[in-house]
Structure 1
Amino acid sequence: MKTLKTIAVLLLCFLTATAFSQVEIAYNSESNAPVEEVSKPVNMAISAPSFVGGPEALADYMHTNVKYPEFSKKHGIEGTVVLEYYITREGTIENVKVIKSVSPELDKEAMIVAKNMPRWNPAIQNNRTIGVKYQLPVKFELHF
């Protein structure tokens, strides 16, 4: 258990060093519906999105919620699934997809956990919350 938690913390350290791209969505002022996506250059005065409670809370969330699929355990399947998702300006997670696959079972488990994450603290630029794409590696490792 301690090894899994240590791996999760190291993974989160990696995450904080990983760059993310910025996409801003223009909203209709009456309906608040998205009307267009505007790509903007990343300004250096940007605050990255963060899991509420910080990296340790994200490690705890992943440790508590990721369940190693039995099929993968039985067949010794290990690896790192890399997910990409959009963190909205409200901090919700949308458009989760696998950008680096390991196996259908591990990919599915990583996606389920990501889709069920609580709201994040959104990215902030120029004193406004913005939506951004974010990548999260989810490491599956068996310990005997």
Structure 2
Amino acid sequence: MKNYLLTVSIFLLATCAKAFPNNDTTYSYMDEHWKKAQEQNAFYKVEVFKTGNLWHQQIFKIENAALQYDNVYSDKRLKTKEDTSKNYQQGNGEVLEEIFKKGKELKAQLITKDANILGYEIFDNDGKIIEQKGYDENGNEIPNYVFMQEASFPGGLKFWQTYLIVNLNQNVPANNHAPIGTYKVVVSFLINKDGNATEVKALNDPGFGMAEEAVRVISNSPQWNPAIMYNKAVTYRQKQGIIFNVTK
């Protein structure tokens, strides 16, 4: 995979150098958590340049110059995706291609380095999946194939909200003498391949026991339906806001 990605990145950089003067390309740097960084401390290098009417944002891993992403936009501010964006971080030399028109995703497909399609999904104008298919190593269609699917609580969002309302102890802040007001705790957690909530942690803490209570109720969550990627269960990160109201 590394050799393949390095070849691709060198080719793209060479092409860009021929097509555009240096002052038409902008550079920035990010750390491994995707936060802005100084060049000497960076994990990723980001190059932005224009080709025709489209803007490319290419992201390279600095340690091996491997191209990670090639995102394509119709505007210089990189707000509206257009044409085909590519994600090279799939493993085994595979590439995830996403096709956009005026910011709306039309199709996503996983392609091998030999240009064979392993799977795809097609969206309607409302972003709903209208078709998805996958194929085995012999090119045979896989029955009931799921290209990508977010983790979900059994019964859907309403059942998840009901679980939180019924099981959250709203009296915790008042019992700990919190002032009157509305408080919010944002909780980050993973839904693992088995559908269990793990690595539950509060991203902020208003105090008065609210962060601990928010973590408790999500940690005790019933089993979820795990996320699916390329027909396999995968770990999925979620965030949930928990509201506490203190009225007296």
Structure-2-length-normalised TM-score: 0.38
Structure 1 portions without partners, runs of 5+:
1-39
* Identity, % of aligned positions: 23
Whole-Å Cα distance in 1 between the matches of residues 162 and 247 of structure 2?
A: 18
Once residues 196 and 149 of structure 2 are traced to their aligned partners in structure 1, the CA distance between those partners, rounded to angstroms, is 16
Match for 1:65: what amino acid? N
Kept in 1, the 8 Å contact 2:179–2:246? The answer is: no
CA separation in 2, counterparts of 1:104 and 1:119?
29
Where 2:159 maps in the other structure, the secondary structure is: helix
Q: Is the 8 A contact 1:84 1:134 kept in 2?
A: yes
Higher strand share: 2
Structure 1 residue 125 corresponds to structure 2 residue 229:
yes
1:88 aligns with one of 192, 195, 199: 192
Aligned to 1:57: 159
Alignment match of 2:169 (pick from 67, 82, 88): 67
Structure 1: how far apart are the matches of 2:177 and 2:207?
Answer: 12
Q: Relative to 1, partners in 2 of residues 1:127 and 1:58: Cα closer, same or farther, differing over 3 Å?
A: same
Higher relative contact order (CA 8 A, sep 6+): 1
Q: Measure the CA separation in 1 of the matches of 2:149 and 2:215.
A: 25
Q: CA deviation at 1:78?
A: 2.7
Within 5 A, what are the aligned runs for 1:1-144? Answer: 40=89, 45-68=147-170, 69=172, 70-72=174-176, 75-142=179-246
1:99 Cα deviation from its structure 2 partner: 0.8
Q: CA deviation at 1:77?
A: 4.8
* TM-score (structure 1 length as normaliser): 0.64
What residue in structure 1 maps to residue 51 of structure 2?
Answer: none
Greater helix content: 1
2: CA distance, partners of 1:66 / 1:73: 18
Higher Cα Rg, which structure: 2
Distance, in Å, in 2 between the alignment partners of 1:75 and 1:112 is 22
Cα separation, 1, equivalents of 2:245 and 2:176: 10
Code of the aligned partner of 1:49:
A
Structure 1 Cα separation of the partners of residues 236 and 226 of structure 2? 8
8 Å contact 2:181–2:247 — kept in the other structure?
no
- Contact 1:123–1:130 under 8 Å retained in 2: yes
Q: Give 1:48 shift.
A: 0.8
Q: Distance in 2 between matches of 1:72 and 1:101?
A: 14
| C-alpha contact 1:86 1:131 (8 A) present in aligned 2 | yes
User: Is contact 2:184-2:243 (8 Å) kept?
Assistant: yes
Distance 2:152 2:216 in 1: 19
CA RMSD of aligned residues (A): 2.1
